[in-house]
């Protein structure tokens, strides 16, 4: 398996664009904490937000074969990235690639897809210091909410179920049909009017996310040589 920093190498070629999509779901509203009446001994009721159901996603994805040459040895491995979205993956001006839509579900793992279940174990969150640096998770749901962005990250490791998979070969695209569900913590990212300041606020409670998608898959090859230290 490739080092963790190279597992998402396929995403380096993607220019993620979140645009309008008329039939896309909207993000759930955030409910306020509620408490039981009764004075002494009152306990807070956990906030459970409206579920997010995403059952007809498309988008696109990559299976990346990589060779890394370093310190007299070569590392060879595969990684997969899925960007299931409310819009397709396009190639503006013949250059790859842009994912359209106002909802994108990003799933990454360090292997070739196979039919069956795969546990997604990385679910940590690192709040961004830069506008588009968000998260360190195998699964990340991104929703546009006006000028704001909502991010949802699993609170426990979810399982990706690959229902069917046809491998891409050369320039011939393959296809992946999958589904996933998880409980998620939400984060709201907002830019200042001029875009110079970014703030991130954790949303209250948890949200159930369920998604099913059929995405085209492309093959890509990457080779990297790391020069010796001087």
Beta strands 52-57 and 198-226 are parallel
User: What does the DSSP assignment read for 16-43?
Assistant: E-----TTPPPPPPPPPPEE-SSSTT--
Rounded to two decimals, what is the model's pTM?
Answer: 0.76
Condensed to tens digits (0 to 9), the pLDDT of residues 52-70 reads 999 999 999 999 999 999 8
Cβ 120 vs Cβ 160: under 8 Å: yes
Could you tell me which residues come within 8 angstroms of residue 94 by beta carbon, excluding any fewer than 6 positions away? none
Condensed to tens digits (0 to 9), the pLDDT of residues 70-99 reads 888 999 999 999 999 999 888 888 777 888
Cβ 222 vs Cβ 65: under 8 Å: yes
Condensed to tens digits (0 to 9), the pLDDT of residues 190-201 reads 877 776 677 888
The pLDDT value recorded for residue 207 is 96
Domain assignments of the chain as residue spans, ordered by start: 4-21+52-222
The single-letter DSSP state of residue 25 is P
Tell me the average pLDDT across 20-47.
43
Question: Which range is least confidently modeled, 40-54, 141-155, 205-219?
Answer: 40-54
């Amino acid at each position: 398996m490739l080092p963790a920093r190279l597992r998402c190498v396929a995403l380096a070629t993607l220019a993620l664009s979140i645009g309008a999509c008329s039939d896309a779901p909207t993000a759930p509203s955030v409910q306020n904490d509620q408490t039981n009446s009764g004075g002494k001994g009152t306990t807070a009721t956990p906030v459970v937000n409206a579920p997010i159901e995403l059952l007809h996603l498309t988008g696109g994805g990559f299976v990346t074969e990589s060779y890394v040459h370093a310190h007299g040895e070569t590392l060879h491995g595969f990684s997969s990235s899925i960007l299931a979205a409310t819009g397709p993956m396009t190639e503006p001006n013949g250059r790859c690639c842009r994912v359209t839509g106002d909802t994108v579900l990003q799933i990454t793992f360090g292997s070739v897809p196979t039919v069956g279940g795969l546990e997604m174990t990385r679910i940590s969150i690192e709040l961004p210091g830069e506008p588009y640096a968000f998260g360190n998770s195998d699964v990340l749901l991104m929703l546009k909410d006006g000028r704001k962005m909502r991010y949802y990250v699993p609170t426990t490791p979810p399982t990706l179920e690959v229902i069917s998979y046809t491998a891409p070969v050369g320039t011939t695209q393959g296809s992946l049909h999958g589904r996933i569900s998880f409980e998620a913590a939400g984060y709201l990212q907002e830019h200042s009017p001029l875009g110079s300041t970014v703030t991130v606020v954790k949303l209250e409670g948890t949200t159930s996310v369920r998604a099913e998608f059929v995405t085209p898959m492309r093959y890509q090859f990457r080779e990297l040589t790391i020069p010796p230290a001087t």
